[in-house]
């Protein structure tokens, strides 16, 4: 089946939602390291797997366009699937949390934080996704000591080896995310090692087995209804899940808007940009415990704190800090820029970003160096 990269290709198979760029920027959100199943299949078109279906998304002016591809069944090739109207609209609105208005939150955060206000105009429409808890959990276990492009490749191999095939677009196969039972099998760890997961193999298979034999997928979803501290405690008891992974899952899958994932980039931002006094020269467990509350607290003077989150639809400033450069670099330093799932490069001009970890023109990279490969 051919990839449909524009509504002009088979207009009857496309559907749209009202969605201005200030509410959502696909290129910023889908490449930010929150999720690893989307790729820019052609300029401005993003193709990936969501809810066991293959989608292509595209933004044009004030609209978010989408098309959904049919699934292969019993050896038959996939056919065209007409968008299911209210159902597919609901899936996208839930995934991007479009029922919460983002511009008002940006204004509130800018009023509370001069540094955020200074850079917010360059990074509009950045939202926290609402992902499937199982996929989010097992994906973020793969992020330790890793970077976005490698994580995405690992997740692709994981899905090809353990997930059911959904369809093939322009000779490229797409697979669903594996079930817990598939990853909890007796040979799963060995197969994952063969796929290059290294030490993470035992954590992926171990956590899949622990959830399958304990909470189950439904129980993991039910953590959305418990307090943040309880959800975090349950997650941290799973193999390979530490504070950062638990907070990523809480924030991006379990509706815990107060969760602030802390990595070395956020740690440096807290120290260098906000003068947070933290002992030691590295991110220790104690520092991790201290940074989250500091980035959540209300402002207590000009630029001296954060505006608490409002609703679930967008990140708070503290959640954006993981990858948005705040302020000009100090002499001899580069702005801390990262994705939640690993290191990345962010281009200063919104139209310049082309792929995760790269930019079209190194000269325009906000890091001020030519390390970004041309594509």
Catalytic-residue membership of 244? yes
Options 118, 202, 244, 256, the catalytic residue:
244
Query: What are the φ/ψ torsions at residue 134 (nearest 5 degrees)?
Result: -65, -50
Q: Which H helix or E strand runs over 353?
A: strand 353-355
CB contact at 8 A, 106 and 202: no
Q: What angle do CA 128, 182, 51 make, to 5 degrees?
A: 35
What is Dmax (Cα atoms) for the chain?
A: 64
Residue 223, SS3 per DSSP? helix
Taken in order 318, 324, 328, 330, is the CA torsion positive or negative?
Answer: positive
**Beta-bridge partner residues of 58:** 45, 65
Cα torsion through 315, 321, 326, 329, rounded to 10: -160
Which runs of consecutive H residues, i.e. helices, occur in the chain?
A: 26-29, 86-96, 102-112, 114-120, 133-141, 148-162, 180-183, 188-194, 200-213, 216-222, 228-236, 243-253, 264-272, 285-296, 317-320
Rounded-to-integer distance, Cα 373 and Cα 347, Å: 12
DSSP codes, 240-299: T--HHHHHHHHHHHS--TT-----HHHHHHHHHTT----SSSS--HHHHHHHHHHHHSPP
Strands 63-69 and 80-81: antiparallel
Sign of torsion over alpha carbons 353, 358, 359, 365: positive
Q: Which residues are catalytic?
A: 244
């Amino acid at each position: 089946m051919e990839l449909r990269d524009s509504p002009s290709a088979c207009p009857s198979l496309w559907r749209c939602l009202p969605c201005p760029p200030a509410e959502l920027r696909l290129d910023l959100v889908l490449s930010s390291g929150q999720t690893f199943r989307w790729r820019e299949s052609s300029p401005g078109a993003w193709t990936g797997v969501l809810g066991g279906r293959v989608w292509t998304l595209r933004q044009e002016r004030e609209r978010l366009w989408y098309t959904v591809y049919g699934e292969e069944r019993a050896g038959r090739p996939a056919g065209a699937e007409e968008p299911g109207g209210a159902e597919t609209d609901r899936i996208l609105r839930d995934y991007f949390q479009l029922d919460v208005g983002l511009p008002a939150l940006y204004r509130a955060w800018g009023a509370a934080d001069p540094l955020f206000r200074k850079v917010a105009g360059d990074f509009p429409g950045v939202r926290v996704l609402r992902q499937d808890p199982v996929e989010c959990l097992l994906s973020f276990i793969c992020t330790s000591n890793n970077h976005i492009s490698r994580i995405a490749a690992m997740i692709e191999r994981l899905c090809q080896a353990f997930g059911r095939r959904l369809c093939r677009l322009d000779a490229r196969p797409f697979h669903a995310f594996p079930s817990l039972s598939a990853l909890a099998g007796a040979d799963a760890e060995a197969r994952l090692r063969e796929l290059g997961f290294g030490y993470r193999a035992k954590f992926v298979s171990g956590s899949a087995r622990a959830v399958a034999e304990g909470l189950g997928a439904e129980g993991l979803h039910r953590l959305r209804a418990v307090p943040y501290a309880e959800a975090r405690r349950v997650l941290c008891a799973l193999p390979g899940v530490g504070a950062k992974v638990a907070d990523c899952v809480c924030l991006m899958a379990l509706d815990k808007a107060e969760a602030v994932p802390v990595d070395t980039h956020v740690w440096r931002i807290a120290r260098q940009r906000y003068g947070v006094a933290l002992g030691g020269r590295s991110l220790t467990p104690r520092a991790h415990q201290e940074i989250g509350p500091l980035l959540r607290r209300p402002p207590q003077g000009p630029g001296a704190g954060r505006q608490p989150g409002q609703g679930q639809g967008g990140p708070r400033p503290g959640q954006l800090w993981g990858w948005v450069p705040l302020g000009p670099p100090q002499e001899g330093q580069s702005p801390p820029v990262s994705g939640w799932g690993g290191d990345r490069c962010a281009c200063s001009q919104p139209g310049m970003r082309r792929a995760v970890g790269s930019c079209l023109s190194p000269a325009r990279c906000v890091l001020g160096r030519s390390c970004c490969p041309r594509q």
